[in-house]
Structure 1
């Protein structure tokens, strides 16, 4: 019991000693600013800008390819369903004609 209490106290103390970090993002540009306040009172600020023009074009191309792939997949699936239905209908018609010929 004593050991677990000491361990719990050590964990609580060590988590309180970590630096406090806050992150904010500018919705217009996508830039992120991270501010860290250390235990000794110093403040560290890091700024990460949003995507560059090239990065934005790559991202848009990736998104467009994803949408195109989904549309193509849907079209292939729908075509396969139509073909399957037509084959089934044709096979049924052949079966009916075969019965008529035999009779």
Structure 2
């Protein structure tokens, strides 16, 4: 059984006991959270497709920890102009574990 769910503006294919890294959620570590925007549910071969979301379906998850992603280097340069710009970014992430898919 799996579901396609929208979490923090991104779509994820999730199943029970799967760990997922999502954009930072505004909840404490150890808290339970529920996502209601379930786009598709596959229950042992029976596919339920939402328009846009499946009615009454939700995905329950537990927040494990907040962390930062890998550093991404942004480097800009214009040749023969003496212009160089170096910048870095680390995305704030939340690690969650999927506890169940409710239909």
TM-score by length of 2: 0.24
Report which of the two has the higher share of strand: 2
Q: Which has the greater radius of gyration?
A: 1
Q: Which has the higher contact order (CA 8 A, sep 6+)?
A: 2
